[in-house]
Amino acid sequence: MNAVNLHLRQATAQDQPEVIRVIKAVYDEYGFDWDPEGYHSDLYSLEESYAARGDFFYVGVFDGEVFGTAALELFDEIPAGLVAPMVRIAGCDCSIERVYVDPLARRKGIGRALSEHVIAEAKQRGRRQMEIWTDKRFTEAHLLYQSLGAEIVAERLCDDPEQSPEWGMVLRLKG
């Protein structure tokens, strides 16, 4: 398996079990709690949680099996001084979400391919600045995002069950 043979496409409702399998494998690897009624509820209704809202959820498929996930959320530009339940990064008008690669399929370019695909989609849609929040323990993800041009600009506690500490990164998409 390698990124050359990887097929990236929008997820459908039929992908739900595989999407959950991939993301839950990462959660199990790190000992994180799984919260199907709360923090992970979007994964049980992919089309309603993403496509119906104008957002995108992608899967990376190799030989008919899902090995990676990534989502693009589009929103109005976050103004300076915005107060919200979650810390957000001013100036951003989109975010990359739910980037996960099956632990058995890492270091094959899947995370990079999915991330580049989401970034290209955001650029095509005229977005200017992408927000990226990543658990501080995901050091390889930080290196990937930085290699794509993202810079660490903030930190917060996530609203996941563990209240995980996260780095906030910004990727400028346009001048």
Domain at 54, CATH number:
3.40.630.30
pLDDT at 78: 84
Structural domain boundaries enclosing 108:
3-172
pLDDT at 79: 81
Burial class (CB in 10 A: 0-12, 13-18, 19+), 92: buried
How many domains does one find in the chain?
Answer: 1
Q: What is the pTM for the complete model shown?
A: 0.92
Residue 106: partners with Cβ closer than 8 Å, 6 or more residues away = 140
The neighbouring-strand residues paired with 95 are 73, 131
Q: Which of 34-38, 81-85, 88-92, 128-132 has the lowest mean pLDDT?
A: 81-85
CA dihedral 56, 44, 97, 90 (to 10 degrees): 90
CA-wise closest residue to 70 among 136, 128, 144, 5: 144
3-class DSSP assignment, residue 146: helix
Tens digits of residue pLDDT in 23-53:
999 999 999 999 999 999 999 999 999 999 9
Residue 37: partners with Cβ closer than 8 Å, 6 or more residues away = none
| Phi, then psi, of 10 in degrees rounded to 5 | -70, 140
- Chain centroid to Cα 30, Å, comes to 17
Helix pair angle (139-147, 110-124), 10° resolution: 50
Q: Is the pLDDT of residue 4 over 70?
A: no
